[in-house]
Amino acid sequence: MIEIYFKNIKSEKLKKIKEPRNGCWINIKNAQIDDLQYVSQLTGLEMNDLEDALDPYELPRIEREGDSIIVFVRSPQEEKEDIHTSPLALIVTSKYFFTISYSQNTIIDAVKKEMNFSTTQRSKFLIYILLLISKSFTREIKNIRSKVFHQKKSLENVESLDIVDLIKIEEILNQYISVLIPMKNVFEAIANGAYIHLFSDDADLLEDMIISIKQSTDICTVNVKSIKSLRESYQIIFTNRLNKTIRLLTSFAVVLTVPMIIASIYGMNISLPFQDNPLAFSYVLIFTFLASLLFLLLFYIKKWL
């Protein structure tokens, strides 16, 4: 789906227009091959340069094709086919600014709501989108960090589902790390001024974004280590629980074995002590009870129960 927007310095709101004009923003969501052909006609870019925008696994990078700059980035998204980041292609030409998303992208939705500058300011537009992506990663990583911290506090009540949650969180963080490292390289390449002209404010902002990306990467790495440590702690807890359960069942088995042995002996068809005594049954019950009680006390003293 192709959407065309325009906003100049004098305009208060972003306006949707029908045809492309110099300085407009062309947003393509749920992009298909036909949409890429449309972009190719407007920009003169080869289809081979654009088809990577449809790859759901494309990693962040930046390229220059003639007078155009193509930036591939990724932003956090809800889980979709075990992918926790969404690809976004940004194309800056001398006339237009393109955003091409493989699926619905929350970053683009935020741009539409919060944009307070002109679409003709293409360098600023690019940096603004990168800033939103950086903030979204920071926000998601903070949320994940709080989840990990919460699970640390509830070790005593750990269940199997907690381990499943940790594995999912670890997968998300690993995907974030695989994205943030090349994203940092993209930010650094843009900050060097080799691809777009930067004003002093833009350069300072990019430096802050690079630091933020580095911090996010470090936080992800630390959280992954914390999760591995938590999983090891969970494994120890589950092992101890299993040992206690086995010890308890073994103790009960021993206690129940005593009356079974006595009953088996007195059930044999041979001469036995007290067999002619009318109180023999009572004696056997009392002896069985005392023997079982003795084993129970022994196991309790040994803390097996």
Question: Reduced to 3 DSSP states, what percent helix, strand and coil does the chain have, rounded to the nearest 5?
Answer: 60, 15, 25
* φ, ψ (nearest 5 deg) of residue 286: -65, -45
The band of 26, judged by pLDDT with boundaries at 50, 70 and 90, is very high
In a domain, residue 159? The reply is no
Residue 39 resides in a domain: yes
Pairing of strands 15-17, 97-101: unpaired
194 within domain boundaries: no
Is 226 inside a domain boundary? Answer: no
pLDDT value of residue 273: 73
| CATH number of the CATH domain containing 89 | 3.30.460.20
pTM of the model: 0.75
Per-residue pLDDT tens digits for 152-172 = 656 666 677 777 888 888 889
- Give the CATH number of the domain where residue 252 resides: 1.20.58
In a domain, 129, yes or no: no
Give every CB contact of residue 256 below 8 A, 6+ residues apart in sequence. 292
pLDDT reported for residue 152: 65
Does position 304 have pLDDT exceeding 70, yes or no? no
213 falls within a domain: no
How much is the average pLDDT of 206-233?
86
User: What range defines the domain where residue 91 resides?
Assistant: 1-115
Question: Residue 286 — pLDDT band, cuts 50, 70, 90?
Answer: confident
For residue 86, give both structure tokens. Answer: 């969404």
Task: Determine what percent of the chain is predicted with pLDDT higher than 90.
Answer: 12
Q: How many CA atoms lie within 13 A of 83 on its CB side?
A: 15
Number of folded domains that form the chain: 2
Indicate the SS3 state at residue 91.
strand
Judge whether 227 lies within some domain.
Answer: no
pLDDT tops 80 at residue 15:
yes
Task: Return the pLDDT at 154.
Answer: 60
Integer Cα distance of 4 and 285 in angstroms: 92
Domain boundary among 115, 145, 172: 115
> Do residues 171 and 250 make contact, with C-beta atoms less than 8 angstroms apart?
no
Average pLDDT score, the chain: 83
Q: Of 93, 115, 137, which residue is a domain's last?
A: 115
Burial of 242 (0-12, 13-18, 19+ CB in 10 A): exposed
Q: Phi-psi category of 66—alpha, beta or left, where left has phi over 0 and alpha has psi -120 to 50? A: left
Q: Which of 115, 134, 150 is the last residue of a domain?
A: 115
Percentage of the chain with pLDDT > 70?
Answer: 94
